[in-house]
Amino acid sequence: MSRIAYVNGRYVPHRDGYVHIEDRGYQFADGCYEVVAISGDTFVDAGLHLKRLRRSLDALKIAFPMTDAALTVVMRELARRNMIREGFVYLQITRGVAPRDFAFPAKVKPSLVMTARTKTLIDPRLLSDGIKVITIPDIRWGRPDIKSVALLPNALGKEQAKQAGAVEAWQFDRDGNVTEGTSSNAWIVTKACEVVTRKANTDILNGVTRLGLLHVIAEAGLRFVERPFSVAEAKSAPEALQTSSTNFVLSVVRIDDTPIGDGKPGPVGQKLAKLYADYAASGAQDRT
Ligand SMILES: Cc1ncc(COP(=O)(O)O)c(C=O)c1O
């Protein structure tokens, strides 16, 4: 079966999906995106993704190309045409095509591209073994809360992790506090069994999985604290976790060369991974 993409109003074979060379996304990374997990018939927390997309577009002063309802129809149709049962849809909106000039063009139509892909969201091996992360300085721009397509620092960090045999790079700020992974939010579990993650201000992306997990934590009656934590604190924590739409909840069992806890996924992480997987599959999470 050949893959189908959605490009500016048309469903096209994936290999024929093109945007123009003067698309501002290509020239200036002038756009934003979302990655929405597909679990069976459910787009996991689609409402929160569309809300965040609207927030990113507003921040960049890019017009929203269609209503949430219309966007949802395209997402569903793309998932159907690509026969995705487990995977994700990728949505990208850029300011559009215009002669190259930094300032915004007076008249421009946003470009909307969507692709969909099958992917194992709950990888049994990653769940049972946990993952290794490295730590790197956060060199991104000042607004990582906007889900912009300007992802070069993230790509460099992920490549550095890969070269080190790790799955992710956790970034840290000037105070030595962890901000987030290159494509995930970072968490620790303390000795007092508090689940800790950084407050979502302009320093990090407010992950949709992060928000879903907060809901799951509250439902499970676990204690949750939003505060910064340092790399050193993470290394000495009994458990560490990360969340993202493409891998849900994963236990971090090694940070740089330090094993976390006994170097295996801990009970809180395993419980949260299971509860979040149930939550994602339930289709009941359509919160906005
Ligand atoms: C920098 C960053 N932080 C966190 C996340 C996790 O966000 P979400 O849970 O919405 O996938 C991502 C996902 O791509 C990301 O790129």
CA of residue 168 to ligand 1 center, whole Å: 12
Predicted pLDDT at 125:
95
Report the nearest atom of ligand 1 relative to the CA of 210. Answer: 9
Is-catalytic flag, 147?
yes
Q: How far is Cα 275 from Cα 255, in angstroms, rounded to an integer?
A: 24
Instruction: Check if 148 has its Cβ closer than 6 Å to any atom of ligand 1.
Output: no
Other C-beta atoms lying within 10 Å of the C-beta of residue 222: 16
By the 8 A CB rule, do 223 and 272 touch?
no
For the chain, percent of residues with pLDDT exceeding 70: 98
Q: How far is Cα 62 from Cα 64, in angstroms, rounded to an integer?
A: 6
| CA-closest residue to ligand 1 atom 16 | 183
C-alpha of 68 from chain center: 19
Average pLDDT of span 215-242: 97
Predicted pLDDT at 105:
97
Predicted pLDDT at 286:
56
**Which residue ranges make up each domain of the chain?**
4-118, 124-282
CA of residue 106 to ligand 1 center, whole Å: 32
Confidence class for position 287, pLDDT limits 50, 70, 90:
very low
Average pLDDT of span 221-231: 97
Report the nearest atom of ligand 1 relative to the CA of 52. Answer: 10
Other C-beta atoms lying within 10 Å of the C-beta of residue 7: 17
CATH assignment of 124-282? 3.20.10.10
Q: What is the mean pLDDT of the chain?
A: 96
CA of residue 96 to ligand 1 center, whole Å: 24
How does pLDDT run across 79-117, given as a tens digit for each residue? 999 999 999 999 999 999 999 999 999 999 999 999 999
Report the nearest atom of ligand 1 relative to the CA of 180. Answer: 3
Predicted pLDDT at 288:
43
Per-residue DSSP letters for 26-94? HHH--EEEEEEEEETTEETTHHHHHHHHHHHHHHHT----S-HHHHHHHHHHHHHHTT-SEEEEEEEEE
pTM listed for this prediction: 0.96
Instruction: Check if 210 has its Cβ closer than 6 Å to any atom of ligand 1.
Output: yes
How does pLDDT run across 4-56, given as a tens digit for each residue? 999 999 999 999 999 999 999 999 999 999 999 999 889 999 999 999 999 99
Burial 40-68 (b: 16+ CB within 10 A, else e): eebbbbbebbbbbbeebbeebebeebeeb
By the 8 A CB rule, do 105 and 26 touch?
no
CATH assignment of 4-118? 3.30.470.10
| CA-closest residue to ligand 1 atom 8 | 207
Average pLDDT of span 167-193: 98
Predicted pLDDT at 102:
98
Q: How far is Cα 32 from Cα 146, in angstroms, rounded to an integer?
A: 8
